[in-house]
Amino acid sequence: MKIVLQRTTGASVTVDNRTVGKIDHGLVILLGISDEDTKETVTQMVRKISNLRIFHDENDKMHLSIKDVKGQILVISQFTLYADCKKGNRPSFTGAGKPEHANELYEYFIQEVQHQDIPVQHGIFGAHMQVNLTNDGPVTILLEA
């Protein structure tokens, strides 16, 4: 599993000129899933993300979690995180999970975020999406399981 996590002051995702997900302050999560990933992998990553202290406290130190600031999460499926550009000029995506497996874990990821009592919005798996966000900081973190 590969995740690009971005702290945001606002974000949305649009499919066919229709907004399908929108959050205020919180996190945008670009989620890449491989065939080796499991529900246990998802549970561990969601636990890590929900407790990650990357929001500022009253002393302007990164000391608070998404739960502490009552933030929201926008989850976007992103198989292109598995792009392999070592050979030639066209990326290979053979490391990305098969769609059925990846979609199952994507949906499970969203459920696990909900179980953490964090409001969550999401894109549409496999759709062509436009994602807009204002990166706060900027804070961008790469996570890999």
Catalytic residue set? 78-80
| 50 in Cβ contact with 113 (< 8 Å) | yes
| Cα torsion angle, 140, 141, 144, 145, sign | negative
For the beta carbon of residue 137, count every other beta carbon within 10 angstroms.
13
Q: Report CA-CA distances (Å) from 33 to 37, 59, 78.
A: 7, 36, 8
Nearest to 67 by CA among 115, 10, 131: 115
| 120 in Cβ contact with 54 (< 8 Å) | no
Residue 139 in tokens: 């804070």
